Amino acid sequence: MSNPLLRTKSVEQSMADTDEPGHRLKHNLSAWNLVVFGVSVVIGAGIFTLTVQTFADKAGPAISLSFLLAAATCALAALCYAEFASTVPVAGSAYTFGYATLGEFLAWILGWDLILEFAVGAAVVAKGWSQYLVNAVGGGANSEVGGSATIDLGPVTMDWGAILIVAVVTTLLVLGTRLSSWFSAIITAIKVGVVVLVIVVGFFHIKGDNFSPFIPPSEAGEGVHKSVDSTVFSLITGGGDTAYGWYGILAAASLVFFAFIGFDVVATTAEETRNPRKDVPRGILGSLAIVTVLYVLVTVVVSGMVNYKDLAGKDADLADVFQARGIEWAEKVTAWGALAGLTTVVMVLMLGQSRVLFAMCRDGLLPREMSKTHPRFGTPARLTVTIGVVVAIVAGFFPISTLHEMVNVGTLFAFIVVAIGVMVLRRTRPDLDRGFRVPGGPIIPVLAIIACLWLMLNLSALTWIRFVVWMVIGVCVYFAYGQRHSMVGRRERGEVPAWDAESSDTIA
């Protein structure tokens, strides 16, 4: 009997489980569908909101350097994801990869970590969608409608805008991944068009003086609250607050990393892809390349249009930049583009969440009944609806806009484990057919680990505290439920047979 914490799920068993009746997903996605998913989830909060906020409050004109640092880290991790997803094309992303290489306990930690990434990310973006709904419909970025679509219910405030968008995307996801992909393609075309418009129009309103100084001098913070909000790296080195200067650039890179989160969602759809060994790497790397170019161009335009001091401390967004230059029509178009952009971000994040939980439920680490797929739509409908209800409650009734840093630390941790897993699987299973191989041997995985650790150190101490608390809760859930109900463990104990896809039967 293997150690319950270290037992792994073989690649062969993972692949066989994808054909188990009642727990099978439809294979109907192409490389183009995956690129659309990747671009649709990544282009959203990053361009329309986070870019301006970090430009104004953290990095100044050097925000483009922050985006390049974050993009380089993602590129290293993306190569590792591409190899893993083309080798083990099974739903679950980093959770599945960890289970095949590093053991059940660490796989659980990764799954619990991805729950944090996708669920909190979807809720945060849903709130942003609600705010942009007011901007687009109510008359501009500074509309006095209340800043979001809310209703005062006495002791609580209900953000009906956030609940609305979660309900819509939940319905689409239940009806089928293919339908969701077509919807994403249409909305993504709209928001990419808006981003291109922003770049072209903004280019003609750039002032060279706004780029000086390119790296503003750092500003020290004071007090206990400032120390908690400072990055771990700045606290260790005595850098104090992380506004501007090189500390600000590094802190901004760790924050705008949130803007790139989503390409890993492509890996969660590997099981639903017709030719995963080729299409998944193309989807991951293609979507990341497209959004990186767009992000950098937008940061250059924003930095040149306004002085960072004019927006500092104002919780500004891209529409505010155009308003500051008196371009009212572009402000309105930007608001509608953001509304479209955030719609697909919420949808694809919830898609990733459902596929990770689907894999965990199918493995018995969470209630296995939740991994049942709909006989007509071929989607985990029950699980998707449950996720929709939870995300709607969190987004609709809780103030969570400051929690996106927790998503960052969780994602970076997952990237590190995937990079380690690539090296482990090459050593333990060199015989596996790899549709894509990370070039340079172990060099890129090691660089990915270093880069991710570096960005993690540049997140705030408070974020780390919250992350540790979430992980402790996850460990308790694993020992209380997951370890005893694990399908791998139950098969070892002879309680259930293993599913054999080739014979369409079970084997002891």
The residue to which tokens 């380690």 are assigned? 420
Check residue 121 and give its pLDDT: 82
363-422 confidence digits (pLDDT tens): 899 998 888 887 777 778 888 999 999 999 988 888 765 566 677 788 888 889 889 988
CA distances from 66 to 42, 50, 247, 444 (A): 16, 12, 11, 20
Instruction: Tell me which amino acid residue 120 is.
Output: V
Question: Among residues 12, 23, 40, 20, which one has the least CA distance to residue 340?
Answer: 40
Residue 308 has pLDDT above 80, yes or no: yes
Q: Do the Cβ atoms of 486 and 365 come closer than 8 Å?
A: yes
How much is the pTM? Answer: 0.76
Lowest mean pLDDT among 207-221, 229-243, 317-331: 229-243
pLDDT over threshold 50, residue 326: yes
CA atoms within 13 A on the CB side of 390: 16
264 in Cβ contact with 81 (< 8 Å): yes
Q: Give the pLDDT confidence score for residue 404 in this predicted structure.
A: 64
For residue 157, give the H/E element and its range. Answer: strand 157-159
Q: For the CA atoms of the chain, what is the radius of gyration?
A: 22
* Model pLDDT, residue 46: 64
Give the three-class secondary structure for 150. strand
Q: What is the mean pLDDT of residues 482-495?
A: 84
**pLDDT value at residue 146:** 40
**Omega before 213 cis (within 30°)?**
yes
Q: Give the H/E segment covering residue 257.
A: helix 245-260
Assess whether pLDDT exceeds 70 at residue 430.
yes
pLDDT, one tens digit per residue, over 50-79 is 788 888 888 888 888 988 988 888 888 888
* Domain range summary for the chain, segments of one domain joined by +: 11-496
Q: How confident is the model at residue 444 (pLDDT cuts 50, 70, 90)?
A: very high
Q: Is the pLDDT of residue 35 over 90?
A: no
pLDDT digits (tens, 9 = 90+) for 243-274: 788 778 887 887 787 677 766 777 777 777 77
pLDDT in tens, 269-283: 777 777 877 887 888
pLDDT value, residue 312: 78
The yes-or-no verdict on residue 195 having pLDDT over 80 is yes
Residue linked to tokens 């630390």:
409
Q: How far apart are CA 349 and CA 353, in angstroms?
A: 6
Q: Are strands 150-152 and 505-507 parallel, antiparallel or unpaired?
A: unpaired
**Interhelix angle 328-362/31-42, nearest 10 degrees:** 120
In this model, does residue 3 exceed pLDDT 60? yes
**Res 445 pLDDT > 90:** yes
How far apart (Å, rounded) are the C-alpha atoms in residues 113 and 110? 5
**pLDDT of the residue at 389:** 94
Residue 429 has pLDDT above 90, yes or no: no
* Nearest partner of 295 among 65, 26, 75, judged by Cα: 65
Half-sphere exposure of 309 (CA within 13 A, CB side): 10
In this prediction, what percent of the chain has a pLDDT beyond 90? 9
- Calculate mean pLDDT across residues 488-500: 72
Render pLDDT for 152-184 as a digit per residue (tens, 0 to 9).
877 788 889 889 999 998 998 888 766 666 777
Average pLDDT, integer, range 74-86: 85
pLDDT of residue 447: 93
Handedness of CA 179, 34, 363, 22 (dihedral sign): positive
- Share the mean pLDDT of the chain: 79
| pLDDT for 239 beyond 70 | no
Q: Which residues pair with 500 in a beta bridge?
A: 505
- The Cα 316–Cα 485 span in angstroms is 48
Half-sphere exposure of 176 (CA within 13 A, CB side): 11
Distance (Å, rounded) from C-alpha 42 to C-alpha 140? 24
Neighbours of 142 (CB within 10 A): 11
Quickly state the pLDDT bin for 506 (edges 50, 70, 90).
very low
Query: What are the φ/ψ torsions at residue 501 (nearest 5 degrees)?
Result: -65, -35
For residue 504, pLDDT beyond 50: no
Q: How far apart are CA 470 and CA 115, in angstroms?
A: 10
Per-residue pLDDT for 142 more than 60?
no
Right CATH for 11-496 from 3.30.479.30, 3.40.50.1820, 1.20.1740.10, 3.40.50.10490: 1.20.1740.10
